[in-house]
Amino acid sequence: MTIDAANPIEQQKKQSIRRDAALEVTRLLPRPLLATLTVLLCALVLVPILYIFLASLNTDVGVASGEFWPSSFSLESYTKIWDSVGLAKAIGNSLIVSGATAIVSAIMAVGTAYVLVRFEFVGRLTVLRGLLGLQSIPGTLMLLPVFVLFSSAGTYLGVTVIGTLWGLFIAYLTFALPFSTWVMVTYLRGLPRELEEAARIDGASNLGILFRIIIPLSWPGIIVSAIFAFLLGWNDVLFASVFTRPDTHTAAVALQVFASAVEGGAIPVYSQLMAASLVCAVPVVVLYFMFQKYLVGGLTAGGVK
């Protein structure tokens, strides 16, 4: 290829043609098909989302009669939801339990993952395989024994666990820990060993390496594993529906109370349900999009919702 170096404009033009060509080369679909598919998929997602917004601004009667576009807009549902079922308290409970789960499981995951990735020992592969397998254990299988264990704690030890946030916290750790650890394992595998080796030559201990090298370098991984642990608690209905009392309800359970609440007439409080759904979804959506870059990678590594 001969490029006329004396003519910079010509050169630029050629480069831009080449860039376009490069784009053209990686193109997978003809333009019309690509546009159609994109629009269809976006509509599939966005139409229900738009509906939630509109319904939350509608009246209960309007939603019940199947209006898409509200005949009258009002923010009333957003003010009502706080009194009708104690949503604020429930969201507070969810934040406490999920936040605690996130912090504890992320801290434990770093240490465990560090040993699993960097040191050889008998049974290491079994542990790794177990971490992955444990994530797929059905929650319904664990629910009953955990319930019995917790109620035995009441019978034999005199400690009330069921109905408290502690019980929920321990149950969520059950599921969060294998997952967080696995996320950290995949993250630490990607870190170069050279820094650790240099530190070791300089006389750093294992713990020194963990605290001065591994942890500062793996913040993205730690954040991802913490967020997934948080979401696990936030999204759970199964355990929360059995292990909570009205005053320890989580947001997920409180939303179910809305669904069965009937106000005044015979019409369920649909509009409030939609408003409350949005409120429950907001923390999650904000977390995701703040850390989207890291989360997508961590997700494909862990592979579990």
Partner 1 sequence: MASSVTEPRPSDSSPVARAAAGPGETTPPGKRRKGLSERNRPLWLLIPGGLLMTIVILVPLAMGIWMSLIDLDQYTLRRWVSAEFIGIKNYIEAAVSSDLLRSIWLSVSFAVISTAVTVPLGVAAAVVTQNAYRGRALVRSVFLIPYVLPSFVVASVWRTMLQPDGIVNVTLNNLGMDGGLWLNGPNSYWTLVWVEIWAAWPFIYLLALSGLQAVDHEVHEASALDGALWWNKLRYVIFPYLKGPVSLAFLLATLNHINNFTLPYVLFGAPAPSDVNVLPILVYVTSFQSFRFGLSAAMAVVSLILIAIPLFIYLRAVRLDVHEGGKK
Exactly one of 1, 5, 9, 44 binds partner 1 (CB under 8 A); which one?
Answer: 44
In 3D, which of 76, 98, 144 has the Cα closest to residue 251? 98
Nearer to partner 1 by Cβ, of 96 and 151: the residue is 151
Rounded to whole angstroms, the Cα distance separating 274 from 118 reads 48
In three-state secondary structure terms, 174 is: helix
**Segment near partner 1 (CB under 8 A), from 8-16, 70-78, 202-210, 217-225?**
202-210
Token readout for 4 is: 């006329």
Nearer to partner 1 by Cβ, of 219 and 289: the residue is 289
**Segment near partner 1 (CB under 8 A), from 75-83, 157-165, 220-228, 229-237?**
229-237
- DSSP per-residue letters across 59-89: -HHHHHTT-SS-SS--SHHHHHHHHHS-HHH
**292 is an interface residue for partner 1 by CB under 8 A:** yes
**179 is an interface residue for partner 1 by CB under 8 A:** no
Exactly one of 85, 97, 170, 222 binds partner 1 (CB under 8 A); which one?
Answer: 170
**164 is an interface residue for partner 1 by CB under 8 A:** no
**238 is an interface residue for partner 1 by CB under 8 A:** yes
Residue 244, strand partner residues? 163
**What residues from 127 to 146 belong to the interface with partner 1 (CB under 8 A)?**
127-129, 132-134, 136-146
Exposure class string for 94-108: b at 16+ Cβ within 10 A, else e: bbbbbbbbbebbbeb
**Rounded to the nearest whole angstrom, what is the least distance from the CB of residue 161 to partner 1 in the complex?**
12
Which string of x and - marks every residue 7-36 that binds partner 1 (by CB under 8 A)? Answer: ---------------xxxxxxxxx---x--
* Phi, psi of 250, deg, nearest 5: -95, 175
Rounded to whole angstroms, the Cα distance separating 38 from 132 reads 34
Rounded to whole angstroms, the Cα distance separating 236 from 94 reads 10
* Phi, psi of 120, deg, nearest 5: -90, 135
**191 is an interface residue for partner 1 by CB under 8 A:** no
**What residues from 100 to 119 belong to the interface with partner 1 (CB under 8 A)?**
108-109, 111-112, 114-116, 118-119
Exposure class string for 42-51: b at 16+ Cβ within 10 A, else e: eeeeeeeeee
**256 is an interface residue for partner 1 by CB under 8 A:** yes
Token readout for 76 is: 């009333």
**72 is an interface residue for partner 1 by CB under 8 A:** no
**Rounded to the nearest whole angstrom, what is the least distance from the CB of residue 237 to partner 1 in the complex?**
5
Exactly one of 2, 155, 202, 245 binds partner 1 (CB under 8 A); which one?
Answer: 155
